[in-house]
Amino acid sequence: PTGPPAAATPRVPRVSKATGAGDTRDTALPFLAAYRTDEGQPWVLPVVRKVEQMIANDASLNHEYLPILGLPEFRANASRIALGDDSPAIKENRIGSVQSLGGTGALRIGAEFLRRWYNGNNNTATPVYISSPSWENHNSVFVDAGFKDIRTYHYWDAAKRGLDLHGLLDDMEKAPEFSIFILHACAHNPTGTDPTPDEWKQIAAVMKRRFLFPFFDSAYQGFASGSLDKDAWAVRYFVSEGFELFCAQSFSKNFGLYNERVGNLTVVGKDADNVQRVLSQMEKIVRTTWSNPPSQGARIVATTLASPQLFAEWKDNVKTMADRVLLMRSELRSRLESLGTPGTWNHITEQIGMFSFTGLNPKQVEYMIKEKHIYLMASGRINMCGLTTKNLDYVAKSIHEAVTKIQ
């Protein structure tokens, strides 16, 4: 017989287009969450360039598979910067980690493990709480891992343009015991609003009393304040309070390694034996997910973190990025205030990290896009890295016009 049968059955099912694909949401356009220089360009950190060359010139390196859980020196160093050199959990040998494909991979492996093994061996009905609003992928990652009861907790108070601490604590008080809470370690995405240390203490107290599980998402360590230690304060405080927890780390932003897909899932358990048992289950999950992780990003991060000199250079590079964002915040705020733009603009400098909730309403956003060709999310969220010393005046004047002309 020659040629295919006349009416061959299609092998690929006909499906409808996924909602979210191709529109302007984070999931469709992840580069919206990337750093840009004052020239509006992507930035390869100088320390990363240097280490890449070291790796390229190191004839002892090869392309053999990495272990399923990843490069040991990467995992140990990555967890160390999350938990701190003097972490009681590290000293007591009750931490473990999994190298992952970005922060997303760490969240996914953690979610998959929790669904299988968190509290008994079927957790599809265990409530998972996500802040309102949150990085959009949180919901999808936990849904795809099989959780059926995804809930939101209060976080953003639009009127106050700040944290709704009361609502948040109230939701924690009412959550069923053993619920899982996704917490942004720093630089909350998308609001840029973090709890203060005192507020974190209140959150930890309720979570401890109500047996709630903290799953930290740390995607911006160092990027938020310019200090690695400051940005890891909440995670370290929870560890010092004796919590067992997960912490998903991303090195996409703070190393600028977006397309190398390098992340780490740190597990803090109650003892070494328990952590090893958890890791053995995670190894099984990784084996069927990506089998073993890629090496380039992990080598870059491990080499940098292990050398005191490269580590110092990296901290300096991270500070360069954080400082540029902080400068754009203060410059935008001072321009709006000197223009006398109606409303208060202190939230622009009080928010932290790459994103800002400007407070512009959907109609004002539409005006900015249609009349001024300044593109931002319908929620009023902007990436501060879109601002440069060259466009600040234009953006500030446009916000002023939008706010004064459109209610």
Give me the least distance between CB of 263 and ligand PLP, in Å please.
5
Among 79, 126, 189, 304, binds ligand PLP (CB under 6 A): 189
Residue nearest to ligand PLP (CB): 102
Q: Which is nearer to ligand PLP, 90 or 102 (CB)?
A: 102
Closest Cα partner for 69 from 303, 304, 300, 298? 298
Closest to ligand PLP by CB, 28 vs 205, is 28
| Candidate segments 97-105, 198-206, 292-300, 326-334, binder of ligand PLP by CB under 6 A | 97-105
CA distance 295 to 271: 29
Sole binder of ligand PLP in the list 217, 260, 313, 331 (CB under 6 A): 217
Binding mask 262-291 for ligand PLP (x = CB under 6 A): -x----------------------------
Judged by CB under 6 A, the number of residues near ligand PLP is 12
Distance separating alpha carbons of residues 190 and 280, to the nearest angstrom: 34
Q: How far is the CB of 34 from ligand PLP (least distance, A)?
A: 8
The yes-or-no answer on residue 253 being catalytic is: yes
If one asks whether residue 219 binds ligand PLP (CB under 6 A), the answer comes out as yes
Nearest to 361 by CA among 339, 334, 380, 336: 380
Whether the Cβ atoms of residue 329 and residue 349 lie closer than 8 Å to each other: yes
Burial environment of residue 293 by CB neighbours within 10 A (0 to 12, 13 to 18, 19 or more): buried
Rounded least distance, CB 161 to ligand PLP, Å: 20
| Residue (of 247, 238, 181) closest to 220 by Cα position | 247
Sequence-distant (≥ 6) Cβ neighbours of residue 211 within 8 angstroms: 177, 178
- Under a CB-based contact definition with an 8 Å cutoff, are residues 175 and 210 in contact? yes
135 noted as active-site residue:
yes
Give me the numbers of helices (H) and strands (E) for the chain, helices first please.
15, 11
Question: Pattern 155-184, binding to ligand PLP, x per CB under 6 A?
Answer: -----------------------------x
Q: Residue for token digits 């967890």?
A: 79
Using the rule CB under 6 A, which residue among 87, 193, 225, 252 binds ligand PLP? Answer: 252
- Please name the residue ranges forming H helices in 210-256: 228-231, 233-240
Stretch of residues binding ligand PLP (CB under 6 A), selected from 37-45, 98-106, 322-330, 337-345: 98-106
Q: 90 or 224: whose CB is closer to ligand PLP?
A: 224
Min CB(258)–ligand PLP separation in Å = 6
Measured distance CA(161)–CA(191) in Å, rounded:
9
Residues marked active site are found at 135, 217, 253
Which parts of this chain interact with ligand PLP (CB under 6 A)?
A: 33, 102-104, 135, 184, 189, 217, 219, 250, 252, 263
